[in-house]
A and B are shown apart, each in its own frame.
Chain A
């Protein structure tokens, strides 16, 4: 029981390490090249999820753990999707209400900073 530590060939770590570098370079390239809109957002999400997946699966050894632990750790965060969904709807509602009542003016809330003095 005490000796069942996670020991794996070094090669897999080096592979994942390299992959993480490449994926990070790709994420940075998305900004550097300046992709916009849905292409930008989907590329960001894909590279993010791949990186996160590799870190959790290999570096954190999740792929070698038993299902009982995997489900106990990966399962609960899924409820966060509900929170994210609710807050997205809420944000939409708030911005529509604000536009409705305060109009499109975008300068008035810049407020107390240097920009306000410059106006």
Chain B
């Protein structure tokens, strides 16, 4: 399908380019967002979630910059040895790649959904969920290693600034909870897709689920950069 044809189709009725478009959409006596209401609601939910995660990361910046005690070096803390020398941050790198892979399969699922290919949509969503579950599993491993082997607690740790534990459990815990909820959400919607529940209503639901899933990946991009790499 030609790209331009798609563009005009998705921009919808009453479309005007640029700032004029904003003025028309917001000021006219009509619906502002030309998307299904579920999608607008998901975006607004994700916006609020952005604020939550930003507050966590800002709080982390504040405690890290205000402590006199040396901040533990994540590169060493999260190093893992496979028989040889420890490889810095390797588990986190694998988790990052897993999440990106799952984002790709999710994007495919959305595409297949709009093509009306139920079997492919559902299986791609289930694959996405499986990658998500794998991510959570590796996170559980990471938490176990840190708590049991290294003695990291929310109030102290042997490596340096005590705030490290609080920040780590808070931020990765909240993100992990989002991934877990996403896995449940994905499986639920995939089952309904398979059953044909959306044949009449259309497959926006897959795109909406996708928005949530990509957001989870998006948050990880920031956590990876600021918590693990910084």
Contact = CB atoms under 8 A, between A and B. Distances in A.
A38 interface: no
A69 interface: yes
B42 to A, nearest CB: 10
Nearest to B96: A24
Given A1-B12, A7-B6, A8-B111, A88 B65 contact: yes
Given A44-B225, A59-B107, A80-B51, A2 B36 contact: yes
Contacts of A76: 47, 51
B75 to A, nearest CB: 5
A55 B221 contact: yes
A13 B224 contact: no
B108 interface: yes
Interface string B199-230: 00111100100110011011001101100111
Interface string B119-157: 000000000000000000000000000000001010111
Given A7-B111, A24-B100, A31-B89, A67 B225 contact: no
Interface in A15-35: 16-17, 20-21, 24, 27-28, 30-32, 34
A24 B7 CA distance: 30
Given A6-B207, A10-B111, A88-B65, A114 B158 contact: yes
A94 B55 CA distance: 18
A13 B25 CA distance: 29
Nearest to B112: A10
Nearest to B3: A9
Contact of B15 (A8, A66, A83, A112): A66
A30 B201 CA distance: 47
B151 to A, nearest CB: 5
A87 B62 contact: yes
Contacts of B64: 91
Nearest to B66: A94
A105 B34 CA distance: 59
A102 B224 CA distance: 32
A28 B96 contact: yes
Contacts of B169: none
Interface of A: 1-10, 13-14, 16-17, 20-21, 24, 27-28, 30-32, 34, 40-41, 44-45, 47-48, 51-52, 55-56, 58-61, 64-69, 71-73, 76-77, 80, 83-84, 87-88, 90-92, 94-95, 98-99, 102, 104-107, 109-116, 118
The 5 closest A-B pairs by CB, nearest first: A91-B65, A68-B25, A94-B66, A48-B225, A17-B104
25 contacts: A4-B9, A4-B34, A5-B114, A5-B207, A6-B207, A7-B114, A7-B115, A9-B1, A14-B104, A32-B88, A64-B10, A66-B25, A68-B25, A69-B33, A76-B51, A91-B61, A91-B63, A91-B64, A92-B66, A102-B68, A106-B69, A109-B161, A110-B69, A112-B155, A113-B157
Interface of B: 1, 3, 6-7, 9-13, 15, 17-19, 21-22, 25-26, 32-36, 40, 43, 46-47, 50-51, 54-55, 58-59, 61-70, 75, 88-89, 93, 96-97, 100, 103-104, 106-108, 110-111, 114-115, 151, 153, 155-162, 201-204, 207, 210-211, 214-215, 217-218, 221-222, 224-225, 228-230
